[in-house]
Structure 1
Amino acid sequence: MSLIKLHPKQHEVFHHKSRYKVVAAGRRWGKSLLSQVSLIDKAIERPGSLNWYVAPSYRMAKQIMWDPINRMIPAKWLKKKPNETAMRIELINHSVIELKGADNPDSLRGVGIDYLVMDEMQDIRPGAWSAVLRPTLLTTMGDVLFIGTSKSYNHFYDLWVLGNNGDPKYRDWKSWQFKTISSPFVTAAEIRKFRDEMDPKTFRQELEASFEAISGRVYYPFDRKLHVGDYPFNPKLPIHIGQDFNIDPMSSAIFQIQPNGEVWAVDEIVLFSSNTQETCEEIERRYWRHMNQISIYPDPAGGARQHARGETDLDIFREKGFKRIFHHRKHPAIADRVNSVNKMLLTAEGTVRMRIDKRCKHLIDSFERTIYKEGGREVDKSLSVEHQTDASGYFLQYRYPARKIEVAGISL
């Protein structure tokens, strides 16, 4: 593989002699290229070997690796035309490279693998390695490259620790942690853009390969001393209302975009045991002088849920005279909505873009008390405090979407 030029950090991993290599790297560091080169090198180095690339799903394996690895292998090395259906490449030295998805663990059993790459390891089911793939290396004494982006203190972190703890029984393990900036593929200017468009925790996780705890507060940048104060309604500015359609309570978060670009939460409406019609009436009662200034950003589900007469929540808003209604056709991922809110609270550069008026007590409470379920990224709804931040998120994610990191067309 001398024709393929790796950057210095990739080169360091590629030539290291450890049997188990664990690489935690920031997005766009060059993980896929290192995986491609390593697979082809092992297939050439060991005639008759079986070499597997495993991604979280069959779809990701195909989209991340199939075309790039085929472009990299010269036609003269091929025994026959690659089988795209089976995602199988046979070389003239009788080695085989196959691409697999960990979403079907049973399909990974029962073979002896000589070289294994597990890509986007942070998103692969924990048991795929320990229970399914590790036994396939027992007879071949095969090597493994685990590669991914730090996500939390999960199973990928546990593997990464093995190459760093100095225990002699793990002398065959070696781990690395590389920031995106260490790659020549990404400029410092692009890093600055990401820093300005992400909240600090997401930036550290996605671009600095930092393992971050994800249990705890969902909206962790929120600080009463930093965000809460006197931020009153301005009758001259447009009114933006994020709307959550939970019945108990119905929640409306009311924002205004300031001339300096900051977004102020200037009011809130929280109606218990209520409905969409009553919410519309309350908005009109408070802002009847300013109806032409109002834009609604509802939960997309409001376009599907039907009431007794067959109308949807959005139909009711339109019937009540709210003409400017903006929403996505389907729900954005919860993580995308949360990231959009968090980066408005505080960017990785330390800029505060959102302020909350002290009268918005439910929103303040929601920012402080909405938490994740322990050990995961699922919002804990048992306290029923998340509705005002959900309402805020529908507006903020639509108007100020967080910079997405995508792998194979999948937002992470």
Structure 2
Amino acid sequence: MTQDMYTPREHQAKIEASLARFSVLVCHRRFGKTVLSVNQLIRAARKTDRTDWRGAYIAPLYRQAKTVVWDELKRYCGLGLDNCTVKFNETELRADFENGSRIRLFGANNPDSLRGMYLDGVVFDEVAQMPHRVWTEVIRPALSDRKGWALFIGTPRGKNALYEIWEKAKLDPDWFTAMYRASETGIIHPDELSASGREMSPEEYEQEFECSFTAAIRGAYFGQLMSDADRDGRVTSVLQDPSMPVHTAWDLGMSDSTSIWFIQAKPGGTYAVIDYYEANGEGLDHYAKVLDQKGYKYGMHIAPHDIRVRELGTGKSRLEVSRSLGIRFDIAPNIPVQDGINAVRTILPSCWFDEKKCALGIEALRHYRRSFNDRTANFSTRPVHDWTSHAVDGFRYFAVGFRQPESGHRASKTSNDYNPFGRSHGRS
């Protein structure tokens, strides 16, 4: 099968006739959005007049791109047919066309690996599982000088990157948006939908087949607690108190992301979570500069226990390197992950979050979840390791590692009754 033999379904054909430079498709499971988007890239690669056209297909994880998309890309390019002129690089997951165009697959779990390139067309698949900054900080600039296009596709998983892009796109006349619910498309037989509805929870069904952004996130550890924070007005604008120290809690990545939370412990056992920072592939000197640039008066710096591990290249631990940079860490106790998760649950009702500065960290807390074991049909005792992990791990180290200097203060479970920041609970 070649790309020219691809026959779009009715809804796919309507989409292809309506796509703008930037488009967002929110679709139910089994809609065919991956096939549609793969063929959009192939068609653009073949029809371009540029000899250096570049396209990208970005999945949440690199292995997802390889498992879900790579075979589809090769199939619709005509692999195995006598007239196939496309060459495939298995190592780089790259398709090279005879006219000089290229399509390459990437994972959003390492966004900084995407920096420095230019792109003419890009597809974001399962946007709900990606950090929003992959689009705003990395890919959008890569499209600018060549006026490239972007297609976002996905099924909701709460209010995250897909939701944010969807909501903004609906208000922008230059964007195309469309939502396709299973009850409306007729792609899945009604009997099959009924059977799925009996086997799934109502929230799961609404999310996967009816494209609900408000359905509960399956297996979320802190979903209800973060909803409570929204309801109580504790996700708002939170000012730093310059008279009080700012404590930091870190998850230190080696080849992946490092996250830092900035938190003030208030009288009465409440916590002002005033800032959050995350970056990828940077050394400790970078984060020392970030601390300086923030300009806060610091208290404790809390790090995971593995900061003591010596690196093979230098023979020094990151604890030693950080001390040379003027950062003296307190080490969080090495306790089971589940105990740390329970500690986070204990302090979340006492936390106030700055909704702008902590936006990425807040979304991570909302979407951090247990994995589902298909073999046993039960949730695993272990959390999913994805883009949420670094932020939540850093917050977990704060929950287990911070000790209030003033004795006798315990986290109040009714902190919404007391607003330490001098503003009303509700949002304006």
**1:8 aligns with one of 7, 10, 18:** 10
Partner residue in 2 for 1:63: 67
Label 1:153 to 1:82 Cα distance change in 2 as closer, same or farther (>3 A).
same
Once the two structures are superposed, what CA deviation does each residue of 1:60-102 show, in whole Å capped at 9, x if it has no partner? 0011110111011125675553001101111111111111111
**2:122 aligns with one of 116, 120, 145:** 116
**2:102 aligns with one of 89, 96, 108:** 96
Label 1:106 to 1:199 Cα distance change in 2 as closer, same or farther (>3 A).
same
Q: Which has the larger radius of gyration?
A: 1
SS of corresponding position for 1:39: helix
Q: Counterparts in 2 of 1:290-309, with a 5 A limit?
A: none
Percent same amino acid among aligned pairs? 30
Label 1:376 to 1:80 Cα distance change in 2 as closer, same or farther (>3 A).
closer
Label 1:175 to 1:92 Cα distance change in 2 as closer, same or farther (>3 A).
same
Q: CA deviation at 1:182?
A: 4.5
Partner residue in 2 for 1:81: 87
Q: Counterparts in 2 of 1:219-258, with a 5 A limit?
A: none
Q: Counterparts in 2 of 1:352-391, with a 5 A limit?
A: 375-376=362-363
Residues 96, 102 of structure 2: 8 Å contact kept: yes
Label 1:377 to 1:27 Cα distance change in 2 as closer, same or farther (>3 A).
farther
SS of corresponding position for 1:72: helix
Query: In the alignment, residue 134 of structure 2 is paired with which amino acid?
Result: A
Instruction: Tell me whether 1:149 sits opposite 2:155 in the alignment.
Output: yes
Once the two structures are superposed, what CA deviation does each residue of 1:133-177 show, in whole Å capped at 9, x if it has no partner? 111001110111000001112121111112322xxxx22211111
CA–CA separation in structure 2 for the residues paired with 1:399 and 1:90: 42
Partner residue in 2 for 1:52: 56
Q: Which runs of 4+ in 1 moved over 4 A?
A: 75-80, 181-185, 213-216, 373-380, 397-402
Partner residue in 1 for 2:112: 106
CA–CA separation in structure 2 for the residues paired with 1:186 and 1:213: 21
User: What is the Cα-based RMSD across aligned positions, in Å?
Assistant: 3.6
CA–CA separation in structure 1 for the residues paired with 2:364 and 2:54: 36
Partner residue in 1 for 2:25: 23
CA–CA separation in structure 1 for the residues paired with 2:112 and 2:364: 26
Residues 79, 91 of structure 1: 8 Å contact kept: yes
Instruction: Tell me whether 1:40 sits opposite 2:8 in the alignment.
Output: no
Residues 77, 91 of structure 1: 8 Å contact kept: no
Partner residue in 2 for 1:131: 137
Query: In the alignment, residue 71 of structure 1 is paired with which amino acid?
Result: R
SS of corresponding position for 1:85: coil
Label 1:184 to 1:6 Cα distance change in 2 as closer, same or farther (>3 A).
farther
Label 1:120 to 1:197 Cα distance change in 2 as closer, same or farther (>3 A).
same
Partner residue in 2 for 1:209: 211
Q: TM-score, normalised by structure 2?
A: 0.50
Once the two structures are superposed, what CA deviation does each residue of 1:206-238 show, in whole Å capped at 9, x if it has no partner? 1111111647648x9xxxxxxxxxxxxxxxxxx
**Structure 1: gaps (5+ residues):** 221-333, 335-365, 381-389, 403-412
SS of corresponding position for 2:147: coil
Query: In the alignment, residue 167 of structure 2 is paired with which amino acid?
Result: V
Query: In the alignment, residue 88 of structure 1 is paired with which amino acid?
Result: R
Q: How many equivalent pairs are there?
A: 239
Once the two structures are superposed, what CA deviation does each residue of 1:342-367 show, in whole Å capped at 9, x if it has no partner? xxxxxxxxxxxxxxxxxxxxxxxx9x
CA–CA separation in structure 2 for the residues paired with 1:177 and 1:32: 15
CA–CA separation in structure 2 for the residues paired with 1:399 and 1:108: 37
SS of corresponding position for 2:15: helix
CA–CA separation in structure 2 for the residues paired with 1:141 and 1:77: 32
CA–CA separation in structure 2 for the residues paired with 1:46 and 1:103: 30
Residues 43, 96 of structure 1: 8 Å contact kept: yes
Label 1:110 to 1:37 Cα distance change in 2 as closer, same or farther (>3 A).
same
Q: CA deviation at 1:181?
A: 4.2
